[in-house]
Amino acid sequence: MLQDNHYHEEMANQEILERVENCLFAFQSSLVHGPKPLLFLPGNRRSSMELSWRNGHLFTAVCCVLAEVHSLLRTNTFRTKRSIFYKHRHLFRTQRDIDVAIGLTCNILEASRFQLHILSTSRGLIAGDLVLETRKREMIDCRIPTSIPTFPEHFSIRCCSAKFVLIVEKDSVFQKLAYERTIEPTLSAALIVTAKGYPDFSTRLFLNALNERAQLPMVALMDADSYGIEIFLNYKYGPSRISHESGSNILLPNTQWLGIYPSEIERFELAGAHKLPLTQRDKKHITNLQHRFGDDTSINEELKRLAAYGHKIEVEALCSLGPHYLTQKYLRAKLERIQYANDGTMAV
């Protein structure tokens, strides 16, 4: 598997390398023949960038990123965005400078940041019965909670007895479930993953690669509020502003929402302190989500319930009902409805 991936990656690297070189040749030609000096990929002037007095600094920053990408692809090495920032600290005045420059470079080359061999340090964590082997033959034992690999596509699975992936919204919930999976049979078959909020590119890329290799069903446990719903939708459909940089093909469309549903809030006998009133910002956010996902009937129904109820709850609120209520009552009841067929598919 590693050898096949390596072959396809070399082909992809060569294609992106040619795009970088064609872009720079086109820029050179525009300098000589005019009418304007442009950075663009031949055949795609929609994402071009014109050199002017106003954007000279940003134009230089994009050229710097192109040079870095060319070097990384030629040597088949990777660098983090942070290391590029500090290497060219005289050019990138702020973190936003490099973010904008990389985003423009991705759009011009029609490639994701990962395809350009530029990485962001992953915020993601994973815990479960899974052992990975990297291309350098290093082992990553996920049976102990560990960070998601920096190079999320560069692994093969050495051992995996997990039956499903449980994505959780927050680190506090991840830590609790990672501990309780050793004593709670229902969770023993889970690979528990968190990105500590909205999923970063590296975490989504890792889950996408894991899905391709292990084909494990994925479920998501989120807070019963509009932001929890949006985070789930980020995993499923990608960020709201899909771009080449964010990886338009890094989607997990089969991810299922396990809970907590707004329609469930009323059945929990929670103290008033755990039922947080919706703010004006929450209400506006609910309306925005309804506009964005108007064709998703089940999501819209839950958003309506949330708005009508006027309160939201966090996953941690269920722990106030008992130290093991979340795992032994709520999650057990949810997960026991899941049936695993021989081919590994899941139905709720």
CATH number, position 233: 3.40.1360.10
Is the same domain home to 193 and 322? Answer: yes
The domain tally of the chain equals: 2
CATH of the domain at 28: 1.10.10.10
Together in a domain, 109 and 156: no
Global pTM reads 0.75
Q: What is the pLDDT of residues 311-332, one digit of tens each?
A: 999 999 898 888 888 998 899 8
| 98 vs 8: which has the higher pLDDT | 98
Same domain as 249, residue 106? no
State the residue range of the domain holding 194.
125-345
Spell out the residues 6+ positions from residue 285 whose beta carbon is closer than 8 angstroms to its own.
226, 227, 230
Q: Which two tokens stand for residue 14?
A: 């060569």
Record the tokens describing residue 123, joined without a space: 């915020």
- Do 71 and 146 have their domain in common? no
Residue 235 designated active-site = no
Residues 186, 62 share a domain: no
Distance, in Å, from the CA atom of 83 to the CA atom of 9, rounded to the nearest integer, reads 23
Cβ contact 129:161 at 8 Å: yes
**Same domain membership, residue 149 and residue 184:** yes
Please tell me whether residues 115 and 129 are part of one structural domain: no
Extract the tokens encoding 132: 């990975």
Amino acid 114 reads F
- Tell me what the mean pLDDT of segment 267-279 comes to: 85
Do both 96 and 147 map to the same domain? Answer: no
Tokens of 243: 């771009």
Q: Considering 86, 179, 198, 330, which one is annotated as catalytic? A: 86
100 with 134, same domain?
no
Residue-level pLDDT at 34: 72
pLDDT at 348: 43
Kindly state whether residues 207 and 323 are assigned to the same domain.
yes
How far apart are alpha carbons 43 and 301 in whole angstroms?
44
